[in-house]
Amino acid sequence: MNRTKTDRALSALRSFWESDLDEVLSRPAHVDAGASALELFRGVARDVPAYRTFLERAGIDASAVRTAADFARLPTTTKDNYHRAFPLHLLCRDGRLDACDFVAVSSGSTGEPSVWPRFVADELGTAMRFEQVLGDAMGGAHRRTLGVICFALGSWVGGMYTTAACRHIAAKGYPLTLVTPGNNRAEILRVVRALAPSFEEVVLFGYPPFLKDVIDAGRADGIEWERLSVRVVTAGEVFSESWRTLVCERLGQSDPHLRTASMYGTADGGVLANETPLSIRIRQFLADRPDAARELFGEARLPTLCQYDPLHRYFEQDQGELVFTGDGGAPLVRYRILDRGGVLGFHDLIAFLKDHGKDPLGDLKAEGSVPIRQLPFVYVFGRSSFAVSFYGANVYPENIAIALERGEAARHVTGKFVMEVACDDNQDPALHIVVELAQGVASSGELARDLAVAMRAEIERVNSEFLHYAPAERRTPLVDLLPLGHPEYFPIGVKHRYTRTQA
């Protein structure tokens, strides 16, 4: 038995169990987060073989990186130039994969899985994010709460990581009990019926569109959600404020900023940030003020807006994309996660809002129901790698392209297409694919149906997240066929974009 590994786990768990949320979340105001990131860099450069080699290949002497400015000039790491470029064990400290006790898996653009090592201590920063959501906004420290894990279970990161983090919270003393039906809708409704009456609160954890499906199915099946005091914790996708309002209405709740929260998480780095009542209040205001949103974010479309602990995950904004530094089983330094977004200081954002006639701090203080954490903000539009997120699964152009390049289909189309996730008036999502027809080919319902079937088969074949996250009845794309050179989707002489995001 490796006693060092055991002692490290016990020490980390004891520290978490004895930690005070107020104290932890007040530390960033007194500690230089940049200096903390620089210290992590030095340790990774010393102890992680892959990162030492990465720096050597870039001609960088780690001992010469002494200041925040030096740190900001370090080359960014990516999945391609770092994580996939080295054997897995070399990404861990001292080249020891066995120092970790768990691996998380995510699908890439071709379905080739990416594997991320974890140790129990690495889950505790994520557990603190869930504790902040459940404790600050949802009263989980005082009410008997049933947590229903509706993420897919298995090797995929969402379900197992959420379960592990929430068990740490329960072990810390919160009156939280978990049940793990996964993304089996019938089983979710069964356990809710059986267990919810024994608790004061129910929290559903899952991807936004799937949770809405569960809520709608429960209503149709006679579950009176309004009697169960339900809250919702989501991850994986940007959603609209109208979606948030609609879901709360169907739960019989009127306080969306206290009933919902979205986690900004990835397989690469765990949970990086989380919505708070303050960030939700701000986003609700910006949803009605597209002029202010455009001024703040550069476009009127709303990103996810979260707060984060810079001592847990240190964010930088680089050319419109997010870069973060954080510890873990495979520590990451200046890692480019391929999410478009940026960072905003707490006081800077509050001042901006006051200039636009909004005092969110005053609003929350008047309610008197939740603490206000003076943490910085991160906003996230989504992946810049041309993927779209559907039920929490990234769907890549490569997944679609193969279906258009095979057999009979190839004779009828050019190979160009546009992916988007479209929502109807009921806020139900569909994977919408617009395909460009070849010269002289006429649109037909039969061709559209055949292409949709082929696309579904190909995505299911190569993308395990799509197969396990998206409900079977929603996996077949909606296909529209447009003529060659259509000015809206396929303008001639313009670089083609394979994804589009709804405004």
pLDDT in tens, 406-464: 778 878 998 889 999 988 888 889 999 999 998 889 999 999 999 999 999 989 887 88
**pLDDT tens by residue, 112-124:** 678 899 999 989 9
On whether the CB atoms of residues 466 and 475 are closer than 8 A, the answer is yes
pLDDT of residue 383: 66
Q: Which two tokens stand for residue 271?
A: 């949970």
The domains found in the chain, sorted by start residue, are 1-385 (3.40.50.12780), 390-482 (3.30.300.30)
Please state, in angstroms and as integers, the Cα–Cα distance from residue 241 to each residue in 213, 230, 303, 314, 358, following that order.
17, 18, 11, 27, 17
pLDDT of residue 503: 47
Residues of the chain with pLDDT under 70: 1, 107-112, 300, 383-385, 493-495, 502-503
Residues pairing with 436 in the sheet? 482
414-439 burial: b if 16+ Cβ within 10 Å, else e: bebbbbbbebeeebebbbbbbbbbee
pLDDT of residue 410: 77
pLDDT of residue 300: 64
On whether the CB atoms of residues 474 and 430 are closer than 8 A, the answer is yes
Residues pairing with 434 in the sheet? 418, 480
